[in-house]
Amino acid sequence: MSFRKDYITKPIHKWAKGVLPTLSETEAEAVSSGDVHFEAELFSGNPDWNKLRSVKAPTLTDAERAFIDGPCRAFCDMVDGWEIDKKTGDLPPEAWDFLRQKGFFGMIIPKEFGGLGFSAFAHSEVVRYIASHNVVAAVTVMVPNSLGPGELIHQFGTDEQKQTWLPRLADGSELPAFGLTSEDAGSDAGAMTDEGIVCKGEWNGEEVLGIRMNWAKRYITLAPVATVLGLAFQLRDPDGLLGDVKDIGITCALVPTDLPGVETGRRHLPSGTMFMNGPTTGKDVFIPLENIIGGPDYAGKGWMMLMSALAAGRGISLPSLSAAATAMAAHTTGAYSRIRKQFNLPIGLFGGVQEPMARIASSAYTIDAGRRLTTAVLDEGYKLAVISAIMKYHATDRMRDAINDAMDVHSGKAVIDGPLNYLQPIYRTIPVGITVEGANIVTRNLIIFGQGAIRAHPHMLDEIEALQEPDEEKSLDAFDKHFWAHVSHAIKTTFRATWSAWTGQGNAPADAGKVAPIYRRLSRWSAAYAVVADMAFLTLGGALKRKEMISARMGDALSEMFLISAVLKRWEDDGRNDDDLPLVHHAAETSFARIGEALDETIANMPAKWVGWLLRPLIRPGHYARGPSDEVTEAVAKIVYEPCEARTRLTSGLYRAAEDSGLGLLNHAYALVLEAEPLEKRLRDAKKTPREGLEAGILSDAEFQQLEEVAVAVQKVIAVDDYTPDELAELFPGMQRPTTWKEAAE
């Protein structure tokens, strides 16, 4: 008999059963199928910086480096985005062959099965490199290496499946697609109606136990050309051939596309970006039970398998693509703002242009920092459920903002489509990144905090599990232990949050150097966050699941804290370069402002108004940063405007475009403009045009010639494409020649 347990915990236990969230089987599987890492430290209110700083900085092996410098570059050289999107609708056949021969489809397959066995970081670097040239090429390489048959067989396959399928996937003799999404079930994939019925059927001339499948999937990348589909479907066993359970649940199986009843080949046109994507249907397709990924033992475990595979893939594919797009935006916008003049000045010198330039650069720094940290932790063997969701959402969301900013700065140049336009192909693909691998709205509102809160909170999952324990006595014992640990944690955290909110003091590593104040402020917000999260659980309980706007804001604050941590880690890993400090400060100030706002709005929207009265004086959520100062913004804009080491670091590892491409012309003109800067200055000081300068002896003949060359190079960049009616008719076969008013009148 314990006084605390019987007289205090017992009534709380009864109350908590009514209010704390319960987990359905699917939710429990989702929650238990991934690991937490540094986000749990941030959630604790007192982050242990050693956990962050001890993550090994990601690096490439010699073989991985050589793969990027060799085959990746050669592959990109074969790809012309304009031809693909506007004319041929596909990668050239020799590019597909090259991908197969060089093992691009087996990057994540271990060497023992014929794959390249690359690290998560190397995989990400490859995707980033290719995506910096062309999205169709990147998606084609990305998808077989992301969530799909390769990953699922590698993680869950039987030995026989590994021996049979992995070498064939690695050498490209099989091309996989993964089909989860169906007509009715998009974000709510578990509601799919695609089904498989356990029955007997004929396979290789013999009668065997298997599954008769019917499905109608859509949006499936690579489906039109795939040789094997990894399909998720509801498995049922109405005749009890496998046991007593009739509705076995979501199951993943391998379905060769040449089986009778399988339909592939039709294509969707995703945002005018011509990677292979389309629907697939199956009518009474029979497969043996052995085709279930993992074998019959894994029947019904599909949801857990998908969640587990997503935990890695989601942290690599879209973040790498977004990192490429944002770094490209920084590179091109910086250069363009230098060569494009209005009002006699490069536009990059105007404060109004510097603001978006700085946002682009700081997002490029932040996304890449997040990508590096995430892949480094994946390479330590963690399956990052929450961090992967954070990265998927925030990398694609920031990429969208950065590309919009780049479009604004380029203006007409970016609007007019044509082979010279290096931004349009990226701009068109933004909605793809936002939608796939967990559409962004649902990821933000439901997944990041919804899953993160339960996984990353130091006590929440233990408490929920204790409450779900059917044995009442055991349930009370376990709850008593975890609940009081939670109370003690909450008291300590509240003191810490209040102290740091009023004194500005927080925990920072002793040797943090110039970024120590950022660590301290992050620590202050981490404590405030933990208090608000506990208050949300206390007052909303299970209803928090349905309060999506609150969940989204709490997810935003957690994500921004993770991103600042990644930025601090990157600065450290890069060797603490002073030149990068403006980027670090801009990134941190942006995130701090968002955290303050998110917590402020969370408190303001809690149904229990007393929460606000109580919390506001304690954690001072209104006392947040106002975002980057003008001085920091100018300094960051300068980093992308001028050649410097910080700029090189920010935009390194990207494909170097051909000289005659739109991007190649930009690079060339940028170099010439920089070289000619002293001449420009001489003319500016003398208030003369180049010709007047020549005549006045301010410029030599050679210097005048140099400026002429610069002007030609700049003209080529600011030029946009235009077409004769005949040329347009090539792009739009069947297009009518426009009738002029005069012709019409006749």
Provide the annotated active-site residues.
437
Task: Find the shortest distance in angstroms from Cβ 29 to ligand FAD.
Answer: 18
- Indicate the pairing of strand 228-236 with strand 195-203: parallel
Identify which range of 193-201, 213-221, 302-310, 400-408 contacts ligand FAD by CB under 6 A.
Answer: 213-221
| 274 is an interface residue for ligand FAD by CB under 6 A | no
* Selected binder of ligand FAD within 89, 114, 186, 541 (CB under 6 A): 186
CA–CA gap between residue 155 and residue 309 (Å, rounded): 8
* Selected binder of ligand FAD within 119, 132, 221, 421 (CB under 6 A): 221
- Indicate the pairing of strand 262-263 with strand 206-221: unpaired
Identify which range of 119-127, 173-181, 453-461, 558-566 contacts ligand FAD by CB under 6 A.
Answer: 173-181
HSE toward the beta carbon, residue 301, CA cutoff 13 A: 17
| 436 is an interface residue for ligand FAD by CB under 6 A | yes
Residue reference for tokens 């290496």 = 145
* Selected binder of ligand FAD within 46, 124, 234, 277 (CB under 6 A): 277
Cα 312-36-294 angle, rounded to 5 deg: 45
Which residue number is nearest to ligand FAD in terms of Cβ? 186
* Selected binder of ligand FAD within 131, 220, 377, 508 (CB under 6 A): 220
CA–CA gap between residue 146 and residue 309 (Å, rounded): 8
CA–CA gap between residue 672 and residue 656 (Å, rounded): 17
CA–CA gap between residue 470 and residue 473 (Å, rounded): 9
Query: Cβ distance 329 to 51 under 8 Å?
Result: no
- Pick out residues in 437-476 that bind ligand FAD (CB under 6 A): 439, 441-442, 445-446
Identify which range of 428-436, 468-476, 528-536, 591-599 contacts ligand FAD by CB under 6 A.
Answer: 428-436
Task: Find the shortest distance in angstroms from Cβ 174 to ligand FAD.
Answer: 16
Can you spell out the DSSP letters for 651-698?
A: TTT-----TTSHHHHHHHHHHHHHHTHHHHHHHHHHT--HHHHHHTTS
Give the count of beta carbons closer than 10 Å to the beta carbon of residue 110.
15
CA–CA gap between residue 318 and residue 139 (Å, rounded): 9
Identify which range of 283-291, 370-378, 429-437, 630-638 contacts ligand FAD by CB under 6 A.
Answer: 429-437
| 421 is an interface residue for ligand FAD by CB under 6 A | no
Task: Find the shortest distance in angstroms from Cβ 183 to ligand FAD.
Answer: 9
| 257 is an interface residue for ligand FAD by CB under 6 A | no
Query: Cβ distance 364 to 402 under 8 Å?
Result: yes
Task: Find the shortest distance in angstroms from Cβ 82 to ligand FAD.
Answer: 20
Identify which range of 14-22, 216-224, 471-479, 637-645 contacts ligand FAD by CB under 6 A.
Answer: 216-224
Task: Find the shortest distance in angstroms from Cβ 555 to ligand FAD.
Answer: 12
- The nearer residue to ligand FAD, 274 or 376, going by C-beta atoms, is 274
| 234 is an interface residue for ligand FAD by CB under 6 A | no
Identify which range of 172-180, 370-378, 380-388, 484-492 contacts ligand FAD by CB under 6 A.
Answer: 172-180
- The nearer residue to ligand FAD, 187 or 661, going by C-beta atoms, is 187
The residues that bridge with 177 in the sheet, in sequence order, are 229
CA–CA gap between residue 690 and residue 724 (Å, rounded): 34
| 187 is an interface residue for ligand FAD by CB under 6 A | yes
- DSSP state at residue 109: S
Give the count of beta carbons closer than 10 Å to the beta carbon of residue 216.
17
Q: Supply φ then ψ for residue 606, to 5 degrees.
A: -70, 135
CA–CA gap between residue 734 and residue 732 (Å, rounded): 6
Amino acid sitting at position 173:
S
Task: Find the shortest distance in angstroms from Cβ 427 to ligand FAD.
Answer: 15
| 26 is an interface residue for ligand FAD by CB under 6 A | no
Residues in contact with ligand FAD by CB under 6 A are 178-181, 186-187, 219-221, 270, 277, 432, 435-436, 439, 441-442, 445-446, 548
